[in-house]
Structure 1
Amino acid sequence: MKKLILNLSLAAAVLVAACQPQEERQVDESAKPGEVIPDRRPGEFDGKIAETYKNSEADFPITRKAKEDAPNVILIMLDDVGFGASSTFGGPIPTPHLDALAEDGLRYNQWHTTALCSPTRASILTGKNHHEAGFGVISEIATGFPGYNSIMPDNSATIGQILKDNGYNTSWFGKNHNTPDYETSQAGPFDQWPTGMGFEYFFGFNGGDCNQYAPPLIENTRPILPPTDDPDYHLNKDMADRAINWIRNQKSTAPNKPFFVYFAPGATHAPHHAPKEWRDKFKGEFDEGWNKVSENTFKRMKAEGIIPENAQYNPIPEEVGVWDALSPDQQKVYARMMEVYAAFLAYTDYEIGRMLRAVEDLGQKENTLVIYAVGDNGASAEGGFTGTLNEIAADFNSYRPDVVKDALSRMDEIGTIDTYNLYPVGWAMAMNSPMKFAKRMASHFGGTRNGLVISWPKVIKDKGAIRSQFSHCTDIVPTILEACGIPQPKVVKGVKQTPMSGTSMMYTFDNPDAEETHKTQYFEMGGSRAVYHDGWVAATAHGLTPWSDDRPDNLTFENDVWELYNIREDFTENNDIAAEHPEKVEELKALFMKEAKAHDVLPLDDRGAERFSAQLTGRPSGPSEGVDHFVYYPGMIRLPEGSAPNFKNRTFTLTADVEIGDANTEGIIITQGGLYAGWGLMMDAGKPKFTYNWLQEDITSIEGETLKAGKHTITLKFNYSGGGMGKGAAIELLVDGNSVAQGNIPRTVPNRFSLDETLDVGMDTGTPVSKDYQTPFKFTGEIQQVAVDFN
């Protein structure tokens, strides 16, 4: 062993010597052949080497430690929850654990987001405005402009990185929608994944939403599979269990080291998935309809002091639909959709409560700062006027069938794995009560105002109070840093940091009347925009509504119509006074442009308003870019659609070399997508089969005869008809070069198979492409390889 250590030391010496600048290296002419002499310089080690230890003192680098008695921090971020949804802010959905947190801390009724998920999350993680952090839009529709490229710049370190560098253990549970869509595969790169952004542990999913019963789970950078044999599995419970275990282990191992948990459920983004017992709790609770629910929420808010006494009610626009004018069938279906949504939010509150109770059981409640953002934007109107049982079809591929007729025969399926459900616009507007508009609209508070609760029992003494200072998602990181006694870093990993845009909210903790410090804030999303300054808001919807992508053909940024509101007197933006103060409108329009220039908003890019059409503008396509031939092997699973080859609107060939064991050989050979849209090449009871699922509406299958045992080549030719997006295709199945089945697919998926389903070889890791099989449907023969060729 000593000889080995000596040899390694000599090797290290050689390496060090080789790396020295040539002009500085010394050569010992007395060295024998093969003998390595350490590099020496005049005056160094003049005596025996052993003598140098007499003049040396052993020491270790100082490990970074948090300040004494630094708080633990839990940052909770819900998804698509409107200001008027939770009982904590006067809404109709009971959230008792959030209520209890608010009673032990503070509620903020003028806290704002960006109007869309990825952008808000980029801001809440960095303290920067969303364009500065690269997220002017969600990652799936990123464009090439700096403020819209979905790449967090190195000069915008996350709160995870900052806290880790200052002695915290850091973790992230749940949704990550802040990695470029084309970098979400196992090939990385991983610097824009949570573990590359300062989070020591990550458990969750990459993408905008996911199936709560069959989520595409990631642990750190490794795909893992949810249990397929647990009928009660739900991601919310899994997340809470893992967060509890992580917190317990961290405190057991390092009792004096504080922790940071970023907890970001998929709730309540579509699909609205909740366990049956929770869905059943709300039967009949919303039969009065969205107009009455919205009005009653407004009354409760006033009665509970959540909004000012002089606040005005913004009724739900008639364009959205008047509940009493709907047919009985429509009311029945839409009420059930809302019941399921309420169940999803209430159940999420329950699981978060379990996590917080575990912190209390550890004796950590008193010195744990909990920041709970009740939504990353307003409630979602993306379900359209009728709602949908398949968001993939409706929102991402613009197909909206007769939902009511379909749903009446599937009432018990709403909220189960069989649907990817989202409620109608009317309920979104009711959940945003009493604000105007909804998610995606940065111009009005219905898109940007969310409830916020902050609890820190050791510090906050004005328990149960409300704070009304204007604040923004960029304020979260500065608040955490001040609470932890950490200055905003000037350099992180050798990169100079730009100043944070937000301001700490700690000044409000003990002073309800403190003058607000966040005096100016711009808003922009898809061309809708606004600017707040010292109590005034100027806003333009840019011709948009939350439920439509259509804009007037002649609309430009220059001829947008702007509105004006005095927020100090008009809490809900009810009274547009632009005509009375044209000079104030011009002043604020100029201020918006000043802020836009300062924060990477320019050039204004409204393509994000058109959702998935912008992904066709030539953004990188990840590992598949420029490649027309791929070879996949068994075990290649969970390749996200954004990083996989594009199988839409083009011709391709699948060639699988397999070995069949017997006449019962079955299982997936290769598949993409799932129950809501997708395709799969498989063996079914010994027969080769190809199935194409068009948005859960048309399912086309062709199959051959039973194959004999032995090696075979199975080929699927997919010949796209062309002539635009979503057109038909002719398909042909071949075995060993011989045609065995043909068919025609009348229409194909134009934009997206899924946000969470993946490309898999040898098994199906998500939901099945059809109900003819159950996942994981592992291939029981042997796959040598599967080749994919694009023509």
Structure 2
Amino acid sequence: MRNGAWRGAALIGLMVGMAGAEPVVAAPASAPAADPWQRPAEAPRGAPNIILILLDDVGFGAPGAFGGPVATPVFDRLSGEGLRFNQFHTTSVCSPTRAALLTGRNQHRVNFAIASGSEVAQPGYNGIWPKSTASMADVLRRNGYSTAAFGKWHNTPNWEASPVGPFDRWPTGLGFEYFYGFMAGEADQWAPILYRNTAIAPTPDKPGYHFTTDIADDATGWIHTHQSLAPDKPYFLYFAPGATHAPHQVPREWIDKYRGRFDQGWDKLREEIFARQKKLGVVPADAKLTPRPAELPSWDSRTPDQKRLAARQMEVYAAFLAHTDHEIGRVVDAARKAPGGDNVMVIYIMGDNGASAEGGMDGSDHNLADIFYGFGAADVATQLARADQLGSDALDNHFAAPWAWATNAPFQWMKQVASHFGGTRNPMVISWPARITDRGALRPQFAHVVDIAPTIYDAVGIAPPAAVDGVAQKSIDGVSFATTLGGKAVTPAHRTQYFEMFGNRAIYRDGWIASARHSFPWQRTGRALSVEDDKWELYDLTRDFSQAVDLAAKYPARVEELKALFLSEAQRNDVLPMVTNIGFDTSKPSLEAGRTSFTFHRDGAPIPSLTGAPLLFGPHRITARITVPAGGADGTIVANGAREGGFALFVEGGRLVYQNNVGGRHWDEIRSNAPLAPGAHDIAFELTGQGAAARGRLSVDGAVVGETPIARVALPSYLGALCVGRTCGTPAARGYKAPFVYGGDIEEVRITRDPPARR
């Protein structure tokens, strides 16, 4: 708060004193000059407001300003009034990029080698953000900034991402004074599980709700409130929507704009993008378009049905990106229209990695279920029959892998493949009208996501602290490029950078890069464990922008030199031993591990399905004491999961029902043979036996009212939550719509399961 505001507060205090309070006695003139009010730190004079925007799973060749087929007028406008960066790099996966972005340290040094949820019990991979790497938000807050984060947060370990915390690795524990968004790698855009600060926030109940629009509304409201109350205090706003990570969900009217725009297929689209990139100058005139790898099918090899399905998938993806850019424009406009709008630095990073091929060769419209249950995508005919629903609240859709390759033009590969720029090079623009005069210019120097924090510190006029709350801070790995904002392009200061993800790895040094690809992103399991046989490639980036010409055979000594440098950097950054597979480490902390009994109440907060809620893979029992009112009542007793998997115990048409949803592909249902009479009842569902011998049994007041074989118990969907008395998010059960609130009383719900030795 500036001095004028403090004088106003003092005046209010004086008026209160005049109204009858005890008079304030001034200190003697000889008293020390210490400030008794402990006023907060003030930012350097003229410090800019900062909006940092990070999209998810967007390829280098997707946005319009970089030759892409998607209309991104906000990104394009900012590039015209600011600077374009065409050699900016990320880590190839979301959580590591975000940790590196917000700390200025390499991903493994912040313990984010891989995405949250896949942590491994070793340094560099455990997903525990160390106190020795304070976030940029925390540093700016301590230097007089207001701070807020909106959207996706995927940097808190699963075992801490529940309503009981601990909260020191949530956004509000890492320097953000306000947070509104979801705590996961992805979310249903139509029905997300939301948090405001550390408390569950209900999804707004309004027609046409969409998450990106919601956070844009919240962010603009936050800006307006901040500028009303503290216009002289700068702010740092981090805006990270879930887009364009799967599920690709977007209003229908946006999809209709792209109808028929991708019928030419991915091979032709990639050529069109490349031609526009050269025309726009975002790739050099001598750049080469890298060929389609043999592992990806050509468009011409696809059947007519495969082509129709794939084209529709790409229409939905393009609409999702265009819609996101539009909503971002509302946030930027709110900031620019406020007093001092020219002094708002907007950093817009188009993707935390390259476009994603995790949807497989034909895409998927139940993508999470395909991953967790190992079903594999539904056949093309099945997907095509429901293609008109892509983007809606009925499906969890992802496009075919070759579209990722196409929109990563002109580079090789895609997300997860950290060895090549298709996984790690993303478009970035920076707009700052008060400072940038070389508007619309291209900045071609090598830069990395770790460079953003030191660049912002330089722009603000502060230095990263040596210690925070008594904890010595790790050195910053990034290199500031702030001098390029107010002047011309300069020789790259960032000279060395390693890349690594699932064994896919590379090392950059002074214009050369050595690359070794280890695995494919569509490989769910069975990745090769050994990296010793991986082939190393070599590229001279000063002459080969797109990694098109492998020079390893011509310069073997340089390859060996760079391989040795990679090992040195890997050792220094906690990369070794490399983890090449996505695994589930059962030694990780857990709120439900070791427990056999759980009690839940109707007034409890929703519990994210894979955080604290009991996993019911073997014999278990769900009991509840409910009251049916005189007129009867339908609704949810308890449910866990979402559309892509879980269970629900509910009353429908007066009858007690249990449904087990296996990945949105198979449902087991037990329905009571008679309606529940008014009054109090003890109801129960019990699963006995395992595998082919397992049976589900429903009972009311001790009497069995229905049973059926249940050979496979559902893993609750990552997108859902356990709730009592209502359904949170999308329903795991078929036949009703959320929230399906129960109209009677529920005393409590108890879940018991066999001890681990028996399960």
| TM bin (shorter chain) | over 0.9
Deviation at 1:388, TM superposition (A): 0.6
Structural mapping, 1:201-350, within 5 Å = 201-228=178-205, 230-350=206-326
Q: Does the C-alpha gap of structure 1 residues 546 and 183 become closer, same or farther in structure 2, counting only changes over 3 Å?
A: same
Q: Does the C-alpha gap of structure 1 residues 626 and 590 become closer, same or farther in structure 2, counting only changes over 3 Å?
A: same
Give the Cα separation in 1 of the matches to 2:642 and 2:576: 39
Q: 1:421 aligns with which of 397, 404, 411?
A: 397
SS in 1 for 2:747: strand
**Equivalent in the alignment of 1:712:** 681
Deviation at 1:728, TM superposition (A): 8.0
Q: Structure 1 counterpart of 2:547, which letter?
A: E
Deviations 1:657-697 (A, max 9, x none): 11221463211111111112111111112211101111111
Q: Structure 2 counterpart of 1:177, which letter?
A: H
Structural mapping, 1:140-159, within 5 Å = 140-159=117-136
**Equivalent in the alignment of 2:702:** 737
**Equivalent in the alignment of 2:604:** 636
**Equivalent in the alignment of 1:505:** 481
Q: Does the C-alpha gap of structure 1 residues 442 and 64 become closer, same or farther in structure 2, counting only changes over 3 Å?
A: same
* Greater shift in the superposed pair: 79-88 or 563-572: 563-572
Q: Does the C-alpha gap of structure 1 residues 67 and 669 become closer, same or farther in structure 2, counting only changes over 3 Å?
A: same
Q: Structure 2 counterpart of 1:779, which letter?
A: Y
Deviation at 1:759, TM superposition (A): 1.0
Structural mapping, 1:347-496, within 5 Å = 347-496=323-472
Residues 1:721 and 2:690 are matched in the alignment: yes
Give the Cα separation in 2 of the matches to 1:383 and 1:669: 34
Is contact 2:613–2:722 with CA below 8 Å preserved after alignment? no
**Equivalent in the alignment of 2:575:** 601
Deviations 1:240-286 (A, max 9, x none): 11111101110110111001100000000001111111011110111
SS in 1 for 2:239: strand
Deviations 1:44-102 (A, max 9, x none): xxxxxx99978635732342000111100000000000111111111111101100000
Q: Does the C-alpha gap of structure 1 residues 514 and 278 become closer, same or farther in structure 2, counting only changes over 3 Å?
A: same
Q: Structure 2 counterpart of 1:56, which letter?
A: A
Q: 1:87 aligns with which of 55, 58, 64?
A: 64
**Equivalent in the alignment of 2:8:** none
Structural mapping, 1:13-92, within 5 Å = 56-57=31-32, 59-60=35-36, 61-92=38-69
Give the Cα separation in 1 of the matches to 2:51 and 2:461: 16
Deviation at 1:204, TM superposition (A): 0.4
Is contact 2:642–2:719 with CA below 8 Å preserved after alignment? no
Identity within the alignment, % = 43
Deviations 1:396-420 (A, max 9, x none): 3322243422233223211000011
**Equivalent in the alignment of 1:660:** 628
Residues 1:786 and 2:754 are matched in the alignment: no
**Equivalent in the alignment of 2:157:** 180
Q: Structure 2 counterpart of 1:619, which letter?
A: K
**Equivalent in the alignment of 1:28:** none
Give the Cα separation in 2 of the matches to 1:256 and 1:513: 32
Is contact 1:658–1:781 with CA below 8 Å preserved after alignment? yes
Deviations 1:579-637 (A, max 9, x none): 111111111111111111111112212123xxxxx12442112x223211111111224
Q: Does the C-alpha gap of structure 1 residues 335 and 728 become closer, same or farther in structure 2, counting only changes over 3 Å?
A: farther
Deviation at 1:741, TM superposition (A): 0.8
Is contact 1:387–1:425 with CA below 8 Å preserved after alignment? yes
Q: Number of matched residues?
A: 727
Give the Cα separation in 2 of the matches to 1:225 and 1:550: 36
Give the Cα separation in 2 of the matches to 1:563 and 1:549: 25
Structural mapping, 1:129-144, within 5 Å = 129-144=106-121
Residues 1:564 and 2:538 are matched in the alignment: yes
Q: 2:98 aligns with which of 121, 129, 136?
A: 121
SS in 2 for 1:310: coil
Give the Cα separation in 1 of the matches to 2:586 and 2:578: 16
Give the Cα separation in 1 of the matches to 2:431 and 2:694: 57
Give the Cα separation in 2 of the matches to 1:54 and 1:586: 73
Deviation at 1:550, TM superposition (A): 5.8
**Equivalent in the alignment of 1:22:** none
Give the Cα separation in 2 of the matches to 1:594 and 1:401: 41
Deviation at 1:376, TM superposition (A): 0.2
Deviations 1:123-171 (A, max 9, x none): 1011111111111111111011121111100000011111110100000
* Greater shift in the superposed pair: 666-675 or 102-111: 666-675
Q: Does the C-alpha gap of structure 1 residues 464 and 729 become closer, same or farther in structure 2, counting only changes over 3 Å?
A: farther
Q: Does the C-alpha gap of structure 1 residues 330 and 781 become closer, same or farther in structure 2, counting only changes over 3 Å?
A: same
SS in 2 for 1:147: coil
Give the Cα separation in 1 of the matches to 2:26 and 2:626: 69
Give the Cα separation in 1 of the matches to 2:29 and 2:224: 46
Give the Cα separation in 2 of the matches to 1:367 and 1:775: 44
* Greater shift in the superposed pair: 569-578 or 100-109: 569-578
Give the Cα separation in 1 of the matches to 2:121 and 2:527: 25
Deviation at 1:754, TM superposition (A): 2.4
**Equivalent in the alignment of 2:499:** 523
Deviations 1:506-531 (A, max 9, x none): 12224544111110001111111111
Residues 1:772 and 2:738 are matched in the alignment: no
Q: Does the C-alpha gap of structure 1 residues 533 and 689 become closer, same or farther in structure 2, counting only changes over 3 Å?
A: same
Q: Structure 2 counterpart of 1:730, which letter?
A: R
For normalisation by structure 2, the TM-score amounts to 0.93
Q: Structure 1 regions of 5+ residues with no counterpart?
A: 1-49, 609-613
Is contact 1:649–1:720 with CA below 8 Å preserved after alignment? no
Deviation at 1:551, TM superposition (A): 5.5
RMSD: 1.8
Give the Cα separation in 1 of the matches to 2:552 and 2:215: 47
SS in 2 for 1:76: strand
Q: Structure 2 regions of 5+ residues with no counterpart?
A: 1-24, 755-759
Q: Structure 2 counterpart of 1:709, which letter?
A: P
Deviation at 1:317, TM superposition (A): 2.5
Give the Cα separation in 2 of the matches to 1:520 and 1:468: 16
